[in-house]
A and B are shown apart, each in its own frame.
Chain A
Amino acid sequence: MADAAERHQPEVSTDSPVRRLADRLRRKYRSRITGELVTPAREGRYAELPPELDPRLARALTDRGVSRLYSHQREAWDGITGDRRHTVVVTPTASGKTLCYNLPALQAALAEQAKALYLFPTKALSQDQVAELMELNEAGGLGIRAYTFDGDTPGDARKAVRTRGDIVVTNPDMLHQGVLPHHTKWAQFFENLRYVVIDEMHTYRGVFGSHMANVIRRLRRVCRFYGADPVFVLCSATIANPAELAGRLLGSEVQAITESGAPAGEKHLLLWNPPVINADLGIRASSRSQATRIARMSVRARLKTIVFAQSRLMVEVLTKYLKDVFDPDPRKPSRVSAYRGGYLPLQRRQTEMALRTSHIDCVIATSALELGVDIGGLDVCVLNGYPGTIAATWQRLGRAGRRNRPALGVLVASSQPLDQYIVRNPAFFLDASPEHARIDPDQLLILLDHVRCAAFELPFRKGDRFGGHDLGELLAYLEEQAVLHREQDTWHWTEDSYPAQSVSLRSVAEGNFLVVDRDQGGRQVIAEVDYSSAAETLYEGAIYMVQAAPYQVEELDWTGRKAYVRPTRVDYYTDAIDYSRLRVLEAFERAKGGEAQTAHGEVHLVRRIPGYKKIRYYSHENIGYGNINLPDQEMHTTAVWWQLSADALAAAFPCRQQALDGFLGAAYAMHHVASLRVMSEPQDLGRAVGDGDARWFATVGAGGRGQIRTLDGAERDPDAEARFQPAVFLYDNYPGGVGLSAPLFERRQAVVQGALQLIQACDCSHGCPACIGPILASDEVRGFSPKTAALAALNRFAEHDPQQAA
């Protein structure tokens, strides 16, 4: 078998440039590589085209050079068309997943004029998909009508889509707001609906996934009304529980196809920890410098390279560094390009095209390129920082790799605790299965939202089921709110409103900001920024970067949702200062464990961005401050918090200052452990240390010590406060909450224990960015250890609780 594989891969030899680069990195930077993995090349496994395949379709495939299928494609065909089983296909990037659903859909359209509905998480992906379908369609002269239906579909074209489309491609938001509430217009379509395709299934987790499951409940309910029972075909990147997630999304059993028959090239993966530059403080070189270095070596070796960064800002910074090297002459076509959310669709299409046609050597991207946007094969993938989940890591690494060539992935750890944990325990990452994607379709508020939407679409009758809670009680509740009217055994919608309009599947605030370039006559929109990040990126004075070109924000029209910018030449970028203050509105649940009290409840968060720092490129020194004058942002959300009784506080810490430092350090570690526990991105969860009455909140000041401040920024003396009862808050970083804090309350001991372990296992002596956050050199001299203080706080939180023994 091994012989056969080698015979079939003559080009994979030691002189492959990817292998040469991997070997060079291994030789030169042995101490930085903490783990590695080589996956050998895999041969393809094939199966014949199904005999029952429509001859026109078979011919279209053969014309395009497809004379046989990969084994998983055939397996999918047999399960979907033969047994009519809901199916989820989980195979790597570029393994021909789309054919798994295109074949049954096209066959059904050709043979029986049956319809198919395709759902993609974003508009951009829908458009790619239709283009691909149309190619196959035209190649075979199949005469299938595939249309996208989204916000951009012109009004006069919509009717044609509804009545004449064989395959309608849309996204969950459009299905939720534009299709289901108008299902009678789609009657013909639903009556003949045979297949529903859900691609990129792994994106439907957490809040979005919980909403999606409810949209699917509504879709199936409407289908039943028209007498249709479509088969669902789902595709997903690798996650631990594809069949389970698919089953939860559908509310039905789903068969999983996980064995790919597609051939794959050899893959090298290196885990990379930047070198320590200050052992006492546990400070390492930045992942940014390391990622740039690896990318430089890769591009110089003429390898197509992708660098993933964790934030839009970091994309711009890295792009600038790499452009400084590879694009010094602006008259020449650029070799380096950035790709991220916020760029205009046209710009993104151009970059995708340039990648596919190999006109660009290096792209720096956020997770926006993680999804199935077609950019062709790349050779090297550099991850600047751990993406947060094992699944996303493999998904991004999968961007490098072509069928018959080796590929290299390098995961460069940042100083974040999670990153450090991963690279120091390579076995954990390399052996671990990807995470479970979890959804909670019965999250009460999400469910209630969709019961409203469903009642608008079709009246509920007694005995109907929708979700896991008692539907009767939900209906009675809505009846009491005068949203529904009960007549005999039927509940009718009576409100003068369109409920889907007020339910956002992504739970993101409304109203994007447009970034307008004043030098272009005030007409040129150069980017869009979503509402939630506008305050911290578009304040007046901010340096906003597009393709690493700096623009300065001159004016921010908050109500008009516009920022006016001008190109500028500066040697610094800006970073907003964030003051957040919490007030407890109500505790839903409390648990006492010894001297600690943990609670879960509703909080009111006020966020103020009072100013920003100017940070010089390369040296990263702080070269100035600016003021920001923006309205406070308020949000009601849910949180879980830990407090100590006054006595315990006094016993644990010699002074209030140390208590404050201890709480801040504990919060830092708990925040990171908690995001692992609930499989969220760290930014989905917020953390704060403050007083539960919002009289003050704590930050780490320039001196490296905790300070307490009022929201106006006035510093207060902890010893002068009449009442001093700090609390660690972890909150859902979305208005209304997204259901993260309730499971955290249930696993409160696991969070505390995990934070304890993280700090205890850390090699540093007094604290470092990998455990309790950065500390100053002077702490050690003063004989004070913030690490000890954090442990003191956590040990008290972890006081034995007979009910909660972890």
Chain B
Amino acid sequence: MTLSKRLDALRQQAGAAPQPQTPEAGNGDLRAQLERLDRHRRQARARPVRKSISAEALAESLGGKVVADHLMLVERHWPLTERHGDQPLSLANESTHPVCEIPAKTLYLDTETTGLAGGTGTLAFMVGVADQTATHIRTRQWLITAFAGEAAMLHATAEALRDAEAVVTYNGSGFDLPLLRSRHRLIAGTDLPEADHTDLLHPVRRLFRDHWPDCRLATVERQLLGLQRMNDLPGAEAPEAWKAFLAGDPNHRLAGVLHHNALDILSLTVLPAMLCRAAQKPKAHGAVPRAAARLWTKHGNVKKAIRILEQSLEQLDMRGRHELARLLRNTGRSEEAVIIWQAMAEQGNQQATEHLAKYYEHVQRDYAVALDHAERLGADAYTRKRVERLQRRLLKPVQLALAL
């Protein structure tokens, strides 16, 4: 039975009378019906049917080798002496404290995907990882040439993760890793091996969010590594490139995606040390001193945090100055904290005035000065109580005298 006949039969079962067929009726063909109904919602984007490009041909043109059905690998070794932007790759060996801890067997990972939307139907068509030998950075980039290659690629990725002590990504906690986990669950039916994960987006945000227009990796590279990507294929266009390749389009630009991905993972290898430098000398690298100080405080180095804040005292915003005063007070340097609070209180900062009121009441026990500060505060219940208490304390000696 043809589809159109079946449709007719279905419609009759649903209570419709048999239709006299007229030329306009056109209710027979499912395809025609689809096109008609669907037309207003989407542009027909039919592509010309082309012969698909073979994995071998692609591997040869990209300098890779076919390692499994529909899976190719591009492996390269980059001497540590080579420059990445205006920095040498040897930066990968430098200290990363206190930004993150980088064990010897760390895997730097970045994926290229069929979309940015997330969800089960989005997959990585390329996984790039970097790791380090004594003299080189090794990059391995797996690229699938058909959906059927995904299982082998995920297997290779899982192997690499299993061998690693830690994994470093940029926005991997929000994007790359959930996506790989989801596809691994779907394709292999098991969970992806987990390694300690450092997502560099987080320290970058903390250190630079207030100073930069955005925290995209390209911005980080430009600002910190002096790397200007020339003729780079924007990451957002990667999905199109792979789709074009699948459709057999010879101008598919996968070479561009490969290059883009390689730059990404190389950047990941040097970025921790660069961020460490920024945490050491925030002013010199355009980082927010308060954020750098926080990093040091978190790792127990309050002295270093204070030094950083003191060095950029003039540029510190209110929050930074409060932070400095707080650290000074906590380390027994209250007099210095008071100077900072006073300067801020003179500019009308209520919080600083409150600190002063507290300081004079509880530390100095100078109630007159404390009251003077407290009276400048707003009229909330808490402050009212403080003022009343201070007034009582000021009156007490007088009452005593009277009693005598």
Q: Give Cα distance in the complex from A181 to B246, angstroms.
A: 24
| A485 contacts the other chain (CB 8 A) | yes
Contact A181–B119 (Cβ < 8 Å): yes
In the assembled complex, the CB of A562 is this many whole angstroms from the nearest CB of chain B, namely 28
Contact A498–B30 (Cβ < 8 Å): no
Contacts of B146 in A (CB 8 A): 487
The stretch from B109-117, B193-201, B336-344, B376-384 touching chain A is B109-117
Given A473-B31, A477-B31, A746-B16, A494 and B185 touching (CB < 8 A)?
no
In the assembled complex, the CB of A474 is this many whole angstroms from the nearest CB of chain B, namely 8
Query: What is the 8 Å Cβ interface bit string for chain A, positions 488-525, against chain B (1 contact, 0 not)?
Result: 10101111111111000000000000000000000000
Chain B contact surface mostly: loop
Contact A495–B115 (Cβ < 8 Å): yes
| A445 contacts the other chain (CB 8 A) | yes
The stretch from B40-48, B159-167, B391-399 touching chain A is B40-48
Contact B15–A746 (Cβ < 8 Å): yes
Q: Which chain A residue has the least Cβ–Cβ distance from B41?
A: A736
Query: What is the 8 Å Cβ interface bit string for chain B, positions 1-38, against chain A (1 contact, 0 not)?
Result: 00100100011000111111010111100110110111
Contact A496–B116 (Cβ < 8 Å): yes
Contact A482–B45 (Cβ < 8 Å): yes
Given A455-B121, A588-B36, A746 and B31 touching (CB < 8 A)?
no
Given A488-B148, A490-B147, A470 and B30 touching (CB < 8 A)?
yes
Q: Give Cα distance in the complex from A481 to B38, angstroms.
A: 11
Contacts of A300 in B (CB 8 A): none
Partner of B182 from A182, A442, A736, A743 at Cβ < 8 Å = A182
| B243 contacts the other chain (CB 8 A) | yes
Given A473-B3, A485-B147, A589-B25, A498 and B19 touching (CB < 8 A)?
no
Contact A487–B148 (Cβ < 8 Å): yes
Q: Give Cα distance in the complex from A485 to B70, angstroms.
A: 15
Contact B17–A494 (Cβ < 8 Å): no
* Max chain B C-beta neighbours (<10 A), residue from A184, A468, A490, A636: A184
Contact B34–A477 (Cβ < 8 Å): yes
Interface size on A, residues (CB 8 A): 51
Contacts of B255 in A (CB 8 A): none
Partner of B246 from A458, A485, A500 at Cβ < 8 Å = A485
Q: Which chain B residue has the least Cβ–Cβ distance from A749?
A: B17
| A142 contacts the other chain (CB 8 A) | no
In the assembled complex, the CB of A570 is this many whole angstroms from the nearest CB of chain B, namely 39
Given A470-B30, A803-B20, A487 and B120 touching (CB < 8 A)?
no
Partner of B147 from A492, A495, A591 at Cβ < 8 Å = A492
Chain A contact surface mostly: mixed
| B85 contacts the other chain (CB 8 A) | no
| B239 contacts the other chain (CB 8 A) | yes
Contacts of A736 in B (CB 8 A): 40-41
In the assembled complex, the CB of B295 is this many whole angstroms from the nearest CB of chain A, namely 23
Q: Give Cα distance in the complex from A182 to B115, angstroms.
A: 15
Contacts of A185 in B (CB 8 A): 178, 182
| B100 contacts the other chain (CB 8 A) | no
Contact B185–A182 (Cβ < 8 Å): no
Contact A496–B115 (Cβ < 8 Å): yes
Q: How large is the interface on B (under 10, 10 to 19, 20 to 34, 35 or more residues)?
A: 35 or more
| A124 contacts the other chain (CB 8 A) | no
Quick one: which of A692-731 are within 8 Å of B by CB? none
Contact B239–A496 (Cβ < 8 Å): yes
Quick one: which of A453-481 are within 8 Å of B by CB? 455-459, 468-470, 473-474, 477, 480-481
Contact B117–A498 (Cβ < 8 Å): yes
| A304 contacts the other chain (CB 8 A) | no
Q: Which chain B residue has the least Cβ–Cβ distance from A492?
A: B147
Quick one: which of A204-221 are within 8 Å of B by CB? none
Given A481-B45, A746-B15, A746-B17, A497 and B30 touching (CB < 8 A)?
no
Quick one: which of A177-230 are within 8 Å of B by CB? 181-185, 187
In the assembled complex, the CB of B178 is this many whole angstroms from the nearest CB of chain A, namely 8
Q: Give Cα distance in the complex from A445 to B185, angstroms.
A: 31
Q: Give Cα distance in the complex from A588 to B26, angstroms.
A: 7
| B118 contacts the other chain (CB 8 A) | yes
Contacts of A588 in B (CB 8 A): 24-27, 36
Contacts of B104 in A (CB 8 A): none
In the assembled complex, the CB of B235 is this many whole angstroms from the nearest CB of chain A, namely 12
| B318 contacts the other chain (CB 8 A) | no
Q: Give Cα distance in the complex from A498 to B182, angstroms.
A: 15
Contacts of A777 in B (CB 8 A): none
Q: Which chain A residue has the least Cβ–Cβ distance from B35?
A: A477
In the assembled complex, the CB of A804 is this many whole angstroms from the nearest CB of chain B, namely 6
Q: Give Cα distance in the complex from A184 to B190, angstroms.
A: 10
Contacts of B15 in A (CB 8 A): 743, 746
Partner of A589 from B3, B22, B185 at Cβ < 8 Å = B22
Q: Give Cα distance in the complex from A142 to B125, angstroms.
A: 47
| B53 contacts the other chain (CB 8 A) | no
In the assembled complex, the CB of B270 is this many whole angstroms from the nearest CB of chain A, namely 30
Query: What is the 8 Å Cβ interface bit string for chain A, positions 283-321, against chain B (1 contact, 0 not)?
Result: 000000000000000000000000000000000000000
Contact A498–B31 (Cβ < 8 Å): no
Quick one: which of B79-134 are within 8 Å of A by CB? 114-122
Quick one: which of A589-632 are within 8 Å of B by CB? 589-591, 602
- 10 more contacts with CB within 8 A, not counting A468-B10, A746-B15, are A182-B120, A442-B10, A445-B37, A448-B34, A488-B148, A494-B243, A495-B115, A497-B117, A501-B117, A743-B15
Q: Which 6 residue pairs of A and B lie closest in terms of their CB atoms, listed nearest first? A: A456-B121, A496-B115, A498-B117, A493-B121, A184-B185, A184-B182
Interface residues of A (CB under 8 A from B): 181-185, 187, 442, 444-445, 448, 455-459, 468-470, 473-474, 477, 480-482, 485, 487-488, 490, 492-501, 586-591, 602, 636, 736, 743, 746, 803-804
Q: What are 30 of the A-B contact pairs (CB < 8 Å)?
A: A181-B119, A182-B119, A182-B120, A184-B120, A184-B181, A184-B186, A444-B33, A444-B34, A444-B37, A457-B121, A458-B186, A473-B31, A474-B34, A481-B42, A481-B45, A482-B46, A487-B146, A487-B148, A495-B115, A496-B115, A496-B117, A496-B240, A497-B117, A498-B121, A498-B122, A588-B27, A589-B24, A590-B25, A736-B41, A746-B15
